[in-house]
Every structure is written in C-alpha cells, then in structure tokens.
Chains A and B, each alone.
Chain A
Amino acid sequence: MTRSVEVAFAVARKDLTSEWRTRELVPALGQFVVLALVIANFGFQIDSQNAATIAPGVLWLALVFAGLVAFGRAFAAEREQASLEAMLLTPASPVAIFAGKALAAALLLIACEVVLLPALALLFGTPLNVALVAAVLLATVGMAALGCLFAAMVARVRAREVLLPLLTLPLWIPFIIAGGQAVQVAMGASGSYNQAVALLIDFDILFVVLTSLAARFVLDD
C-alpha cells in the first residue's frame, strides 16, 4: 500500500518536473483561459448588471475546455516517447501510475485556475471568496480522475482529439451541475451552497473509486 503511494508520488513528481523544465502547458493554459474571458466579453456583452449571472457559466466553460487540453496533454508526451509502456513494464501497479498521472494533471489544472479565478474576479467584477475556490477545487478532483482515465484511453486510439471531449464531457456534467450551483450561490445567487458541495463531495468519492477500479483495464496491456 505505502509502496503504491510512493509510486504515485514519484510519477506525479516526474510529470511536474518535466512541466517545470519545459514550462509548456501552464503558460499556454493561462493564456487560453484569459482568451476565453475576452471572447465571453464579446459574446455576451458583459456589463456591471449582467456580469454576476453570466460569470459562473463562463467560468465552467473556460475550465472544462482548459481541463480537456490539460488531460489530453497528460498522456501526449508518454505516447510520443512510448514511455508509458516502459513504466508499465516495471513492477509498479498500473493503478498507482494512473493515480500519479491524475494527481499531476489535477495540479496543472489548479495552476490554471490560479490564473482563471482572479482574472474572472478582476475582469467581470465578481466576488472571489473561499466558497467559490472550494467548489472549483472539489470539482477539479473528480474531473481530473475522469479526464485522466479517458485521456489514457484515447492516447492509443486515432482521432483522439475528437474522442476525448466526446467521452469526457458527458461524464463531467454531474460536476458542472453541482459545481455550477455552488459557484452561482458563492457569487450571490439564491440556493443551497451546502447541498451542492455535499453533492460534489459525493461525486468525487464515487468517481475516484470507479476510476481506480477501471484504471487497471485501461492501462494494463
């Protein structure tokens, strides 16, 4: 058990180190989400009246598509160098390797949220509070588990750029329903924040358990 945790952290550290050395993904994702906000401004004609009602939707749209890019890249380098096969040849369990990849990808998405959330508050004038950050982080956990599972799956299939969103987005919808509700309340709408967050936690537990069970079938060959 402790061995698996060590493997997971080692894989995550490897991914984060390689990102730190190349600095490819996080700057690109940061720029991507700011661009999404600019496009939303022109698409919705944002002003001080409507900003609070539109901002939650913009947040989730930007986050979901940034997430697809982040998780798609998580296995791209492994595929190009065929290094995933090398990792799977080691005695380390595929589930631990998967957990490490998912952890690293989640941290990269959180790095992108560090740009997105303040930019949203700054440009749209919406509140930035603990409730908002907590809801987004909770959604990130489950989205990372699902996103990485399907990214691992499509990495070895052709037309992967098309398939990843098609398979992942419908499964993310529960997180967007509950997370969307929580963020709307955190930005001042009426509703139950606690119920939405409890739901997010339930989904996190369910999908983290399910993806760990399924990871064996996706990675092991």
Chain B
Amino acid sequence: MTKTYERLTAVAVLLMLLAAGMIFLYAPEDYLQKEPQRIFYLHVSAAIAAFACFLAVLVGSVIYLRTENARADRLARAAALVGVVLTTVTLVMGMLYAKPIWGTFWTWDARLTSTLVLWIIYAGYLLLRRLAEPGPQVARYAAVAGIFGFVDVPIVYFSVTWWRTVHPGPVIVSNALPPEMLITFLVTMACTLFLAAVMVGIRYRIETLLDEAPSGAEATIRGTQREPELAR
C-alpha cells in the first residue's frame, strides 16, 4: 500500500517538474506582462484543482448524508484539506501576480473576494472537524457545512460581480492564448490535477488509519487530547 503511494508521489513530483520546465523554458514570454505572466499557469491550475477538491467534498458530503457511509466522509475530509492547500496556493500566487500587473496585492474584486470566502469557509470546515470529537454526529454536521459552503461561493461570486470586477475572465475557452501557451497551460493543469488526486489519496489513507486506530491513539495523533492538568 505504502509502496504504491510512494510511486504515485514520485510520478506527481516528476510531472510537476515537467510542468515547471514547460512554464519556464517552452512557453513564450508575454508581450505586455513579461515574466510575471508565467505565474498564470500554476495560478489557474491550482484554482481548478481546488474547485475539483471542493466538488469532491460536496459529493462526499451528499453521499454521507444519504447513506452514512464512512468512506464518503473520509473522502470529504481528505478533499477539503487538499482543497484548502490549493486555494492558499491560488491566493498567494494571485497576489504575487497582481502586484506587478495591477500595482497592488489585493483588491475587492468579485473573483478575489469569493476565493477568499471559499478559503475561509473550508478552513472553518477543517476547524469544525478538528475541534469536535470525531464521530458520526460531527461527520453529519461537517457534511452540512460542506454542502452550504459549496452553495455559498457561487452566490458570493455573482452578488459581487454585479457591482465591481477587475479580474480577467476565462481566457481558455475564448481562444485568447497562442498554441504554446495553451499547451503549457493544459499540461500544467493535468499535472496539478494529478498531484491533487495523489494528495487526496494519501490523506484518505491517513484518515482511514486514524479511523481504525483505537480512540485514545487517535486523539493523541490528532493532538486533540487535553492535558490532564488542563482537564481538571
């Protein structure tokens, strides 16, 4: 089992190195934005992979509420963690991209605001899982939170977009990219999605082991066991 994960991780790392090679060596320099434009490839890929993760949280949550299947709950837990990591990557790379192009790290634009809300919602989801005692009750609460979180984000997005927006719209479907850039982007996206899937798989395995561990051990591993002095 561990061997398989090690191999998959190695493949994911090699794929990301391939993507990095294409971003820096193969893709042409942007005429207007120069070097900072190279952030675009990973920035958008990470965002798409994050959305895929949150979609997995939604699917896992809905299945859990319908069937109380522990595996669906584990999938939701694993995907939420990876999704939050990828959203962090998206936000940080977006800020680094925005500084040279827009002249500021942050602006209250529809896309930026809704991505930040997305991050806050799922960070809250992870905190709920961490602070509550593990069990079927919390799994159900978290499933409800996961579903509401997924509903909230498009709403925030659309309600803000009616008033202000700076962020560029989709460039892929509108055919705005030259072929080298498009190929680089598609390769980066595929590699990032593979990496995200491997990360979710590894986290899923960890969650399985935690679920199977005796309850005392689980509390120790999760770091949620209270110190005896504090408990008194």
Identify the A interface with B (CB < 8 A): 146, 149-150, 153-154, 156-159, 162-163, 166-167, 169-171, 173-174, 177-178, 181, 195, 199, 203, 206, 210, 214, 217-218, 221
Contacts and interface: CB of A to CB of B under 8 A. Distances in A.
Contact of B159 (A146, A162, A199, A218): A199
Given A153-B144, A158-B133, A170-B121, 6 more contacts: A157-B132, A159-B131, A206-B151, A214-B144, A217-B140, A221-B140
A218 B149 CA distance: 16
B165 to A, nearest CB: 14
Interface residues of B, number: 30
B156 A218 contact: no
Contacts of A156: 137
A171 B148 contact: yes
B152 A174 contact: yes
9 contacts: A150-B145, A153-B144, A163-B131, A167-B125, A167-B145, A169-B120, A173-B152, A210-B148, A218-B141
A166 B127 contact: yes
A149 to B, nearest CB: 7
Given A181-B163, A217-B65, A218-B140, A174 B148 contact: no
B124 interface: yes
B162 interface: yes
Interface string B122-155: 0111011001110001101101110111011001
Nearest to B137: A221
Interface of B: 65, 117, 120-121, 123-125, 127-128, 131-133, 137-138, 140-141, 143-145, 147-149, 151-152, 155-156, 159-160, 162-163
Interface of A is mostly: helix
A157 B141 contact: yes
B128 A167 contact: yes
A174 B121 contact: no
B132 A171 contact: no
A181 to B, nearest CB: 7
A157 B130 CA distance: 11
A107 B163 CA distance: 31
